[in-house]
Amino acid sequence: MSDVKLFTGGRVILPDRILEDGCVLTRGDSIEEVGEKTEVSLPPHENVEIIDAGGDFVSPGFVDIHVHGGAGSDFSDGTTEDLANVTRFHAAGGVTSVVATTASMSTEQILKALDVIAHAKSLLPDGSRVLGAHLEGPYLLPEKRGCHLESQVRNPDPEEVSKFVERADHVISMTCAPDLPGAEEMIESLRAAGIVISAGHSNASYGVMMQAIEWGVTHTTHLYCAMSSFVTFSKPFVKREGGIVEAIFLDDKLTTEVISDGIHVSDDMLRMAHKIKGPERVAIVSDAMRGAGMPDGEYTFGPRDGQKAIVKNRESRVISGEWLASSTFRLNEMVQVYRYLVGAPLHDIVRMASLTPAEIVKQSDRLGSLEKGKHADVIIFDDDIEVKRVFIGGVEHDVEKT
């Protein structure tokens, strides 16, 4: 196999358009050249491996910034075996980079998972590249906890927060509720450490969200899900007040993400988000749990002693049926459903699953688009967004074995 690869014979997806007869030239783990077939020249006197896309799409690898698990494992399990299982499963769905997401659990469990994630960052990927961790919780509002265990959501504790701040090299982002006592101090300390702060699982009013932006909140977790809106505060004969949803739509400083499986959010709500925020400020995420890729049955959200959930017909719910418990879709399926429900141009939707999430977590200098100097993370998929081939850092991942 040559260190130099030429991806040709396909439709190359760029952030703003599609090259109908484009080429991508990679050398080692980096992209060397991208353009129309007539513009990309082969290096002389070198052995070049030709990757013929056969008319399919040549796309940047997907970047999933909110994903818990799949194939029976979860990042919260805190073992190298489970982490490898999850990343291999999602790589087969075109995800070349992940932000490994943990659930609300004990301090010891979170730190154990962080140790495994930190170690994975230093390894050549067997599956998706691990960028770091996203801590979804434990600082969530109890009544907005969703499928997080009630016993594990709590108010910020400065001593516990300091342990996460100390690991800022490995903690990329955190979801927290800005309406909790002590949230201001926590958010400011996270921001100072360079951690991306996302508001979610919260009943914050529009006014609180404006304060939270000043404290350091820049992102919001799974739009419409487990977050406040004017409906939350609408009572007879009381002036209507906005919540997190309205803050997202009104303030361009906030980015957001959607779970576009057709189960969490209706098509009209997705279209509204797309129209108001645009593909530059909305990321598509999988929020997949361990039941993704598995038969119908009982699984847990988060660690193995976490919230019990029932997966049936691709839908995951807590035992009571009151809350959805993450999703069972990979990111390529989310892209597929979003395209069907919203009808946006494919290059915009791919941007939402690649460059936009990379920008949100401050990784777009090396990820998220087919550009010279970035990682050679290239995927090939057909018109139905079925992934055929996956290259991570120029090395092909065996999709068939996953």
**Residue-by-residue pLDDT tens, the chain, 402 positions:** 679 999 999 999 999 999 999 999 999 999 999 999 888 888 777 899 999 999 999 999 999 999 999 999 999 999 999 999 999 999 999 999 999 999 999 999 999 999 999 999 988 778 999 999 999 999 999 999 999 999 999 999 999 999 999 999 999 999 999 999 999 999 999 999 999 999 999 999 999 999 999 999 999 999 999 999 986 666 666 778 899 999 999 999 999 999 999 999 999 999 999 999 999 999 999 999 999 999 999 999 999 999 999 999 999 999 998 899 999 999 999 999 999 999 999 999 999 999 999 999 999 999 999 999 999 999 999 999 999 999 999 999 988 765
**Closest among 22, 56, 58, 15 to 391, alpha carbons compared:** 58
Strand partners, 375: 30
Residues 6 or more apart from 164 whose CB is under 8 A from it? 110, 114, 135, 171, 174, 190, 195
Inter-CA distances, 282 with 15, 165, 239, 289, Å: 14, 27, 30, 21
Gap between the Cα atoms of 161 and 138, Å rounded: 10
For residue 39, the SS3 value is coil
Gap between the Cα atoms of 102 and 138, Å rounded: 9
DSSP sequence for 85-103: HHHHHHHTTTEEEEEEEE-
Task: Tell me the domains of the chain and their CATH numbers.
Answer: 4-59+373-401 (2.30.40.10), 61-360 (3.20.20.140)
Tell me the two tokens of residue 230: 């004017």
Strand partners, 63: 97
Gap between the Cα atoms of 13 and 380, Å rounded: 10
Tell me the two tokens of residue 285: 């995420």
Is the overall model pTM greater than 0.75, yes or no? yes
Helix (H) or strand (E) holding 26: strand 18-27
Residues 6 or more apart from 151 whose CB is under 8 A from it? none
Gap between the Cα atoms of 91 and 89, Å rounded: 6
